Amino acid sequence: MTKISGNDLRAELSRRAFLSYSVAAGALGLFGPSLLAKGARAAEANGAVMSGSHWGVFTAQVEDGRATAFVPWEKDPHPSAALEGVLDSIYSPSRIKYPMVRREYLEKGIEADRSTRGNGDFVRVSWDQALDLIAKEIQRVEATYGPQAVFGGSYGWKSSGRLHNCTTLLRRMLNLAGGFVNGAGDYSTGAAQVIMPHVMGTLEVYEQQTAWPVVAENTEIMVFWAADPVKTLQISNSIADHGGYAGLDALKAKGTKVIVIDPVRSATVDFFDAEHIRPKPQTDVAMMLGMAHTLYSEGLYDSDFIENYTSGFDKFLPYLTGDADGVAKTAEWAAEICGVPAETIKDLARRLKGSRSMLAAGWSMQRMHHGEQAHWMLVTLASMIGQIGLPGGGFGLSYHYASGGAPATDGPALSGITDGGAASGGPEWLATAGVSAIPVARVVEMLENPGGEFDFNGNRASYPDIHLAYWVGGNPFTHHQDRNRMLKAWEKLDTFIVHDFQWTATARHADIILPATTSYERNDIETIGDYSNLGILAMKQVVAPLYEAKNDYDIFEAISDKLGKKAAFNEGKDEMGWLQSLYEAAAKQGKAKGIEMPDFETFWADGIVEFPITTGAQYVRYAEFREDPLLNPLGTPTGLIEIYSKNIEKMGYDDCPAHPTWMEPLERLDGPGAKFPLHVAASHPFHRLHSQLNGTVLREGYAIAGHEPCLMNPEDAAARGIADGDVVRVYNDRGQILTGVKVTDAAMKGVIQIYEGGWYDPLDPAEKGTLDKYGDVNVLTADIPTSKLGQGNCGQTVIAEVEKYTGPEVTVTVFTAPAAAE
Ligand code: PGD
Ligand code: PGD
Ligand code: 6MO
């Protein structure tokens, strides 16, 4: 076992890390070992404290109780430049300082006018008054309507940390209060995570990939299909290890051929100077079918692999050839739809078959109407190429996310505090606790249609009648689609309660708002590396809680106390008691695996324990299946890769046939009946994690004229008389937003790019459909499910028009606290 103490690590902070990150300017001298008291808790001190976040491990420099720099861990192969914003999130002007209640709600309770939510008229209250209001409202709703009336699904990315996991803590409290309705699945891979178990017998999207060293050694052509790993690898759900960047560096150093398939010239295209193929958005399935047809018609496909490892190709083939529907899915047919020349499609198919090739797909192409088809067709194409289970060949659905493929250690898994509900069967995100669960992205439909029936992966259920929603660690007023429809639906709620540390649009639309701490104001424990499990980090408190902020844990413990359930909530433990028990459970598991870990006190003093990598660097996904598919079958009904699924056939869904199929989305660029001329690529932001950090200094580096950027092709801009730096109004039938234009050929003609996560800032909160002043792209997107199978969100299904903004000057106000909250 490798074990390096926190002191050693801090002492190792190198000149390289210092020089490449301006945030550390002037800090180097302060990191000498003499200043590094063992296990320093610098809440009110000077010194250096190691901690971590979604963006990686860092050492905080603290002066007079204030954090002044976050310096990346010396062993981080590619620290995130966002660390400056992570630090600033503690002190940003958008911090929520005190418990607040909407004035009208305070005066009239649930009789308050619900249409005025979001108008900024709040009253500061004491902690006790706020907690009392909440406990009584939970009791009222549970007693009057039962647990089916409380929505605790509260989806969101929260912060890292296994104890202060606010969404789990909310559900822990709600379980003690009597129960709640949960959300199933997630916004990230809503379609893929439901279709893949039918096709591969497993989720794929959150699983380890063939290790990067194997890819670097064997892969001849790496295809990043709708994936921008240079951007998206910055963060992880636990604490980012950034191991994927080492993989990208290795490919580049070796000169491996990289092809990126993306309508936008991404950071990954630039990093590799990659061959760049630009399909029209939402048409990848057609392009893949064109490639599959080429392989078939030219006799190139691997019929042995299809024969021995897949099931149902014979039922897919008539569709591919057109025998079934009269339309052969030729490269020429595909070219008409996706805009990529037929010869390019054919050539790509031939090259991928003729070399060791890896199809590394991102997730945007399943976050759209009929998104299930994209990864299903990708697997079908990879099966026809026939390299699944070979070193560096096949497909991978997580090379762009949380460093899938970074070699895994043999370390034990670190568990976290639980929600205390009944054990759920299957993966946590598909079969969650709660009295019932709705597919997470159907939340607005649930509010609109209580009692209405919905399908989900072969099941049929009805929507509950929700009166109270409680949100922590998520930001539905940025993450959910079709904002104006959502605002109306939200009026269904008697009460909406939110904890956050910043005045997000969600907090502004709440009736009761409680100020949470950031994770830098409390102690926690977390895994480093979602896939690699490099070690366990003590996330030590960096500074004392600001203003009146409290930990979500303490808030829910206090509410549980008011409900007479305190002892059940805390199980007799305080913060350090919990951290010790979580660590000791991992140490026990480690011991059984032959990994000796230090006792808790030593670990906490050292700040980190690291685990050894033994065979993880040689891992080849599906090698065993390839070696013997009978002895090592997949978890599908046939034990094989299902190109045709009898289970899906039985469901009989009109929007998800039993084999991969091209289906027109609701709307697309140049699609039939397209009402607007531009597609909006509503992808993930480079400098943020969704909406997180939008309220920080980082915004100064990317905002254009104070608005969220909108990338636009020079031809599209010229046709509309728009110049670089102009403020434009982007609109469709669902809403209108202001953005600042960057004219660039990075955006293909007909496509504009506006990242998701911009904070919604209504010009007139009382007017439905009002102009959003900053640039929340989800004002424009469609709130439809991917299909009845996955019920995922379609954040990428959106077309719009753009015009130069000529209206009255507006002031963006969403990044400072409402006046009453100062
Ligand atoms: P975040 O901005 O991360 O977005 O949506 P999500 O809601 O996860 O929100 C997290 C919130 O939690 C922030 O407001 C943060 O301040 C708060 N928070 C952090 N730590 C704590 C804590 O300790 N306590 C409390 N109380 N609060 C805390 C993300 C979702 O957006 C996702 S995952 C995806 S994949 C989707 N992507 C798209 C997309 O590609 N395109 C569109 N159009 N829309 C999308 N929406 C989805
Ligand atoms: P996106 O940026 O939405 O990321 O990972 P995901 O792969 O979903 O899309 C990736 C690329 O797809 C973009 O370059 C976009 O231009 C391209 N694209 C869009 N539409 C199409 C299309 O129709 N066809 C093709 N071929 N390409 C298309 C998301 C993952 O990232 C998730 S779910 C989360 S929760 C994390 N979020 C963030 C984040 O918010 N910010 C950063 N920096 N990193 C993240 N990593 C994670
Ligand atoms: Mo996601």
Per DSSP, the residues of 52-109 read EETTEEEEEEEETTEEEEEEEPTT-SS--TTHHHHHHHHH-TTB--S-EEEHHHHHHG
Residue nearest to atom 21 of ligand 2 (CA): 281
Per the annotation, the verdict on 490 as an active-site residue is: no
Average pLDDT over residues 690-709: 98
Which atom of ligand 1 lies nearest, measured to the CA of 688?
Answer: 2
Ligand 1 mutation pick, 134, 158, 753, max ligand atoms within 8 A of CB? 158
Residue whose pair of structure tokens reads 């084999």 in the numeric block: 659
* % of the chain with per-residue pLDDT over 90: 91
| Structure-token pair, residue 716 | 């599209």
Q: Indicate whether residue 234 lines ligand 2 (CB < 6 A).
A: yes
So what's the pLDDT on residue 279?
Answer: 98
Q: What is the pLDDT of residue 421?
A: 73
Q: Which residues of 424-453 are buried (b: 16+ CB within 10 A; e: fewer)?
A: beeeebbebbbbbbbbbbbbbbbbbbeeee
CA of 232 to the centre of ligand 2 (A): 7
- Our answer on whether the CB atom of 398 is closer than 6 Å to any ligand 2 atom is no
Q: State which ligand 1 atom lies nearest to the alpha carbon of 506.
A: 14
- CB 264 near ligand 2, within 6 Å: yes
> For residue 188, how far is its CA from the centre of ligand 3 (angstroms)?
3
CA–CA separation, 295 and 314 (whole Å): 15
Contact 538, 512 (CB under 8 A): no
537-558 pLDDT per residue, tens: 999 999 999 999 999 999 999 9
Q: Whose CA is nearest to atom 17 of ligand 2?
A: 226
Q: Whose CA is closest to atom 38 on ligand 1?
A: 795
Pocket of ligand 1, beta carbon within 6 A = 156-159, 164, 166, 187-188, 367, 472-475, 479, 499-502, 504, 516, 519, 552, 682-684, 689-692, 756-757, 777-778, 781, 795
pTM above 0.90, yes or no: yes
Q: Which two tokens stand for residue 789?
A: 């199978």
Alpha carbon nearest to ligand 2 atom 18, residue: 226
Distance from residue 782's CA to the centre of ligand 1 (Å): 18
Separation CA 542–CA 561 (nearest Å)? 28
In this prediction, residue 603 carries a pLDDT of: 98
155 is catalytic: yes
Q: Quick one: pLDDT at residue 431?
A: 42
Give the pLDDT of residue 422.
56
Residue 573 tokens, joined: 């433990």
Q: Which of 10, 201, 204 is nearest to 633 (CA)?
A: 201
Contact 309, 315 (CB under 8 A): no
Q: Ligand 2, closest atom to CA 266? A: 14
Nearest to 668 by CA among 393, 285, 282, 302: 282
Q: Smallest Cα–Cα separation from 146: which of 168, 179, 170?
A: 179
The answer to whether residues 507 and 475 touch, using CB atoms and an 8 Å cutoff, is no
**What residues contact 726, with CB distance under 8 A and at least 6 apart?**
705, 740, 741, 804, 805
Taking residues 393-405, report their average pLDDT: 98
pLDDT at 772 over 70: yes
| Whether the predicted pLDDT of 255 surpasses 70 | yes
| Terminal C-alpha separation, the chain | 51
> Catalytic one among 73, 98, 155, 245?
155
Q: Percent of the chain having pLDDT more than 70?
A: 93
Calculate how far, in angstroms, residue 683's C-alpha sits from the geometric centre of ligand 2. 5
Whose alpha carbon is nearest atom 7 of ligand 2?
362
Closest CA to 508 of 738, 814, 98: 814
74 near 610, Cβ under 8 Å?
no
Q: Which two tokens stand for residue 715?
A: 């031809």
Task: Name, in order, each residue with C-beta under 8 angstroms of 347's C-beta and a sequence gap of 6 or more.
Answer: none
pLDDT computed for residue 35 by the predictor? 31
Using a 6 Å cutoff on CB, does residue 796 contact ligand 2? Answer: yes
Q: Which residues contact 275 (CB under 8 A, 6 or more apart)?
A: 257, 258, 259, 260
Q: What is the pLDDT of residue 435?
A: 72
Residue nearest to ligand 1 atom 14, measured at CA: 475
Nearest CA to ligand 1 atom 35: 188
CA distances from 710 to 729, 741, 781 (A): 10, 5, 15
Residue 92 CA to residue 696 CA, distance in Å, equals 6
Contact partners, residue 293, CB within 8 Å, separation at least 6: 320, 321, 328, 329, 330, 331, 333, 334
Please give the average per-residue pLDDT across 663-672, as a whole number.
98
CA of 157 to the centre of ligand 1 (A): 5
Q: Which residues pair with 281 in a beta bridge?
A: none
Mutate which of 520, 684, 690 to test ligand 1's pocket (most atoms within 8 Å of Cβ)? 690
Q: Return phi, psi of residue 388, to 5°.
A: -60, 130
- Report DSSP state, residue 249: H
Which atom number of ligand 1 is nearest to the Cα of residue 157? 8
| Residue owning the nearest CA to atom 39 of ligand 2 | 689
> Does position 694 have pLDDT exceeding 70, yes or no?
yes
Question: Looking at residue 20, what is its pLDDT?
Answer: 27
Listed in order, strand segments (DSSP E) in 167-236 are 181-184, 221-225
| Residue 797 and residue 380 in contact, taking contact as beta carbons nearer than 8 Å | no
Q: Of all protein residues, whose CA lies closest to atom 9 belonging to ligand 2? A: 364
| Mutation choice for ligand 2 from 78, 83, 234, 364, CB with most ligand atoms inside 8 A | 364
CA of 119 to the centre of ligand 1 (A): 22
Q: Which residue from 291, 400, 684 has its CB within 8 A of the most atoms of ligand 2, so it is best to mutate?
A: 684
The reported pLDDT for the residue numbered 822 is 87
Question: DSSP 3-state assignment of 672?
Answer: coil
d(CA 759, CA 130): 26
Both tokens of residue 124?
């500061």
Q: How many CB atoms lie within 10 A of CB 97?
A: 16
Name the residue with the closest Cα to ligand 2, atom 47.
232
What tokens does 195 get? 């279709």
Cβ(282)–Cβ(374) below 8 Å:
no
Which residues 6+ apart lie within 8 Å of 705 measured at CB? 725, 726, 727, 740
The answer, yes or no, to whether any atom of ligand 2 lies below 6 A from the CB of 365, is yes
Output the residue whose Cα is nearest ligand 1's atom 27.
473
Mean of the per-residue pLDDT values of the chain: 93
pLDDT at 454 over 70: yes
Atom of ligand 2 at shortest range from CA of 795: 3
Lookup: tokens for 227: 């994936």
State yes or no: pLDDT of 565 exceeds 70.
Answer: yes
Q: Which residues pair with 221 in a beta bridge?
A: 257, 357
Atom of ligand 2 nearest to the CA of 692: 40
* Chain centroid to CA 669: 25
The C-alpha atoms of residue 593 and residue 132 are separated, in whole angstroms, by 48
Rg of the Cα atoms in the chain: 26
Closest by alpha carbon to 404, among 367, 358, 368? 358
Residue to mutate (ligand 1; options 206, 398, 475; most atoms within 8 A of CB): 475
Which has the closest alpha carbon to 200: 593, 524, 633, 530? 633
Q: Cα(87)–Cα(557) distance, rounded to whole angstroms?
A: 28
Would you state the pLDDT for residue 139? Answer: 98
Q: For residue range 436-448, what is the model confidence (pLDDT) as tens digits?
A: 899 999 999 999 9
Residue 399 CB less than 6 A away from ligand 2: no
The dihedral through the CA atoms of 109, 114, 116, 120 has a sign that is positive
Q: How confident is the model at residue 433 (pLDDT cuts 50, 70, 90)?
A: low
| Interface predicted TM-score (ipTM) over 0.90 | yes
- Asked whether 282 lines ligand 2 (CB < 6 A), one says yes
Domains of the chain: residue spans and CATH? 100-185+411-610 (3.40.50.740), 192-408+619-651 (3.40.228.10), 664-815 (2.40.40.20)
Q: Is 684 in the pocket of ligand 2 (CB under 6 A)?
A: yes
Catalytic residue among 55, 73, 105, 157: 157
CB 770 within 8 A of CB 735: no
